[in-house]
Amino acid sequence: MALISQFYGHTALDAAARTFSATFVSMTTLVEPVIAGAFAAWILDECLAPATLAGSLVILAGIGLALRDERLPRVTRTRSPLRSASDR
């Protein structure tokens, strides 16, 4: 089970690295502990300590600061070579 999840995770990161910048991909991996804590509080009815909540806010603020100048890749439309001039 661990081998499959590792393979899936690395494949997803490799695919993301082809589309997004390295900064964007590495910063978004830092969201995992914040999401895990939120799911633990929601699904398992865990009580998060104030320090955990403060740490989550610091992580999210740091990610926001690091990514504020990042731009998402533009998706450009190209003309299909199969379209004729009369279809336009």
pLDDT tens digits, 11-65: 988 888 888 888 888 888 889 999 999 999 999 999 999 999 999 999 999 988 8
Residue 75 lies in a domain: no
**Structural domain contains residue 88:** no
Residue 64's domain comprises 21-68
Examine residue 55 and state whether it is found in any structural domain, yes or no: yes
Domain assignment present for residue 5? The answer is no
Model pLDDT, residue 72: 58
Residue 85 lies in a domain: no
Residues 6+ apart with CB under 8 A from 59: 30, 31, 33, 34
Q: Given this model, what pLDDT does residue 59 score?
A: 93
Residue 80 domain-assigned (yes or no): no
Asked if the structure places residue 14 within a domain, the reply is no
- Please state, in angstroms and as integers, the Cα–Cα distance from residue 18 to each residue in 29, 68, 70, following that order: 15, 20, 15
In a domain, 46, yes or no: yes
Q: Total domain count for the chain? A: 1
